[in-house]
Amino acid sequence: MTEPKIFVLVGPGGVGKGTIAALLIERDPKLWLSRSWTTRPQRPGESDDAYVFVDREQFLNHVANEGFFEWAEFLGNLYGTPLPEPPSGHDVLLEIEVDGARQVVERQPDACVILLVPPSLEVQRERLRGRGDHESHVEARIAQGQLEVEQARSFATVEVVNNDLETAVDDVAGIVAGHRRS
């Protein structure tokens, strides 16, 4: 049995990582999406399955027990990927921020890191507003996002512009297929 490959979607908030991850999973039955833990409060209308929602103490206990593959603090909340346990024959898809992605590459240098970038800052701003982020958070996330792109460029395997969603999903699916063959 070959080892599962690890694919990481990284990129600023509002770039469409979550949507692209969901569409990839629908298309590719051999891709398994990891479910993260977070201390962030659930957003209005956000699915109960979006994360395992925990308090800080529960999260830090899991850190102490070495239960995370990677974890990071992002705008005041903690986010972490539990040690991946994909069903047999599946590859792993992570949708995470840049510090976590760097940890994944350090742990597993052959992980494929796909950096998603928005076509423009204005489009990214509108996407953040559209999903119900507080206005006070939108500008912080835009600034954070620009930093993330800069940092991720130093270690990402490949970069994809999410201008048109279908095209971006096709591009990422092509990258996944190519990496599996390598």
Q: For residue 79, which phi and psi values (nearest 5 degrees)?
A: -135, 140
Contact yes or no for 161/117 (Cβ under 8 A): yes
Question: Between residue 22 and residue 61, which ones bind ligand 5GP under the rule CB under 6 A?
Answer: 36, 40
Q: How far is the CB of 121 from ligand 5GP (least distance, A)?
A: 16
How far is 109 from 131, CA to CA, in rounded Å? 34
Question: Between residue 116 and residue 155, which ones bind ligand 5GP under the rule CB under 6 A?
Answer: none
* Residues forming a β-bridge with 6: 92
70 near ligand 5GP (CB under 6 A): yes
Of residues 100 and 118, the one with the C-beta less far from ligand 5GP: 100
Amino acid at 100: G
Residue number with the shortest CB distance to ligand 5GP?
A: 100
Size of the residue set binding ligand 5GP (CB under 6 A): 16
Q: In 3D, which of 86, 150, 90, 88 has the Cα closest to residue 117?
A: 150
Give the residues lining the site for ligand 5GP (CB under 6 A). 13, 17, 36, 40, 70-72, 74, 79-81, 95-97, 99-100
